[in-house]
Amino acid sequence: MKQITSLLAVLLVLLASCSNEPEVTGDAFVPREVFIDVLVDIHLVDGITQERMFYRRYKDVDSIDVLSPIFDKHGIDAASFDTTMYAYSRYPELYDQIYNEVLMKLNMMLDELDNSPEK
C-alpha cells in the first residue's frame, strides 16, 4: 500500500510539472517581445540582402556584421540572442508561437505597404 501511495505521489508530481506551460525567462534571455522584433528585423534584412540589387554587396559579408546593428537597435548582444534562440529551440511549441507572431508582423507590414498611396 505504501508503494502505491508513493507511486501515486510521484505520478501526481510528474503530471503537475507537465501541465505547466514552459517559459523562456530570466536575465540571460531576450524578452519575448524584443525577441520577436529582432526576428522581424532579421527577416527584413535577410530579404533585402537576397535581392539581386544588394546580393553582390552582401554575399561575402559575415552575418555578425549584418546582425550587429539589429542587436544594437534592440539593446541586446549576440550571446543573449543565441541563448534565447537555443532555449526556444528546445520548446518547439513556444518557437511556433514566436514565429507565428513574427509572420503576423511581417504580413501587417506588407499589408501597410500594399495599401499605401505611394506605390
Q: Rank 39-43, 66-70, 112-116 by mean pLDDT and report only the highest.
A: 39-43
pLDDT digits (tens, 9 = 90+) for 25-54: 888 899 999 999 999 999 998 888 776 665
pTM of whole model > 0.75?
no
Please state, in angstroms and rounded to a whole number, the distance separating the CA atoms of residues 91 and 96: 9
- Which one has a higher pLDDT value, 51 or 81? 81
Distance between CA atoms of 66 and 79, rounded to whole angstroms?
15
| pLDDT above 90: residue 61 | no
Q: Average pLDDT of the chain?
A: 81
Cβ-contact 87, 29 below 8 angstroms:
yes
Q: What are the residue ranges spanned by the domains of the chain?
A: 1-115
DSSP symbols for 67-100: HHHHHHHHT--HHHHHHHHHHHHT-HHHHHHHHH
Question: Which amino acid type is present at position 47?
Answer: G
